[in-house]
């Protein structure tokens, strides 16, 4: 879906937007109420939010980024597309308290967990649990390990590259994510294999 094809889109976002869209359009309807608010964490330039807003117009999509400068590109995209269910971005660092969005029916986080400190992921889990209703969903996307197994040599090499760039970064293990999620009231319910050795994980608010 090339809803914003005339606007700048990072290559990785261009590649993975359609597989993510296909998964979310199969999963979210029927699990979220009408006019549900989906908070998109670490939205980049806002391409994913725009694609999802066009594909799932029954939901409201709220993009966010860590600082005002990063939000500027999202704001330009939101203004250019003028989709009625795509909101202007908010500045959101997962580690801040409280989040600027204090209630959402679902939280989406794409390609953040491996390029941020573990503390940012723990804060993502805790704060998502705090703003989600019972039965709400946190959905994450990216490369993961499974019981220590990278699943592909390319993911192992990617992990080494990440840690060389920043020792606080790295591909996280789903087992650790599930344990941390459980501690704050989120249950790991679904795992979906995605292209290029990525996965999507779905956590339900208990």
Structure confidence by residue, pLDDT tens digits, 104-123: 999 999 999 999 999 999 99
pTM (2 decimals)? 0.96
Buried b (16+ CB within 10 A) or exposed e, 152-190: eeebeebbeebeeeeeebbbbbbeebbebbeebbbebee
Tell me the CA distances in angstroms from 109 to 17, 82, 94, one per residue in order: 13, 23, 11
In angstroms, the CA 71 to CA 12 distance is 19
Q: What band does 8 get if pLDDT is binned at 50, 70 and 90?
A: confident
Residue 2 has pLDDT above 80, yes or no: no
Q: How confident is the model at residue 77, as a pLDDT?
A: 94
Looking at residue 1, what is its pLDDT? Answer: 61
pLDDT band at 198 (very low <50, low <70, confident <90, very high): very high
Can you tell me whether residue 1 is helix, strand or coil?
coil
**In angstroms, rounded to a whole number, what is the distance separating the alpha carbons of residues 43 and 65?**
6
Query: How is residue 141 written in tokens?
Result: 């996307």
Grade residue 170 by pLDDT with cuts at 50, 70 and 90: very high
- CA pair distance 38, 40, nearest whole angstrom: 6
Residue 54, pLDDT > 80, answer yes
Instruction: Write down the architecture of domain 11-205 according to CATH.
Output: 3-Layer(aba) Sandwich (3.40)
Alpha carbon distance 73, 47 (integer Å): 10
């Amino acid at each position: 879906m090339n809803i914003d094809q005339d606007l700048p889109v990072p290559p990785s976002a261009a590649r993975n937007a359609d597989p993510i869209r296909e998964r979310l359009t199969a999963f979210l309807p029927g699990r979220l109420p009408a006019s549900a608010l989906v908070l998109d964490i670490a939205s980049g330039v806002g391409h994913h939010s725009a694609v999802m807003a066009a594909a799932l117009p029954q939901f409201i999509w709220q993009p966010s980024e860590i600082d005002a400068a990063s939000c500027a590109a999202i704001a330009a995209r939101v203004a250019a597309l003028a989709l009625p269910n795509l909101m202007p971005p908010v500045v959101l660092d997962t580690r801040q308290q409280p989040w600027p969005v204090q209630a959402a029916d679902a939280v989406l986080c794409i390609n953040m967990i491996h390029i941020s400190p573990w503390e940012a992921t723990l804060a993502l889990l805790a704060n998502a649990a705090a703003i989600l209703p019972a039965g709400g969903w946190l959905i994450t996307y990216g490369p993961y390990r499974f019981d220590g197994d990278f699943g592909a040599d390319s993911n192992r090499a990617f992990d080494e590259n990440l840690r060389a760039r920043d020792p606080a970064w790295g591909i996280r293990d789903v087992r650790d994510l599930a344990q941390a999620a459980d501690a704050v009231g989120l249950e790991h319910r679904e795992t979906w294999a995605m292209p290029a050795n990525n996965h999507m994980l779905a956590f339900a608010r208990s």
